[in-house]
Amino acid sequence: MTYIWNRADRVPKDKMPHVIKDAFDQWSKEQYKNFQNLTEEEKTKINFNVCKQMGKMNYNLKQLGYIK
């Protein structure tokens, strides 16, 4: 699956970086729905995926000069 934060170079400059951060926040909220009802293994997988995608988002924003 391709996320908008992995293709940040395609987002119009006038909407950066707010669109990327808002999209990531929405996606991460969706990932954490019903988190308390999951097993420890499922929680670990979700946390790992969210952290990995956050790292990719921050890397792309740094490459484009939005994070110093």
Q: Give per-residue pLDDT as tens, 37-65.
A: 999 999 999 999 999 999 999 999 999 99
The domains of the chain are located at: 10-63
What pLDDT score was predicted for residue 68?
A: 81
Is pTM beyond 0.85 here? yes
Sign of CA dihedral 7, 62, 15, 57: positive
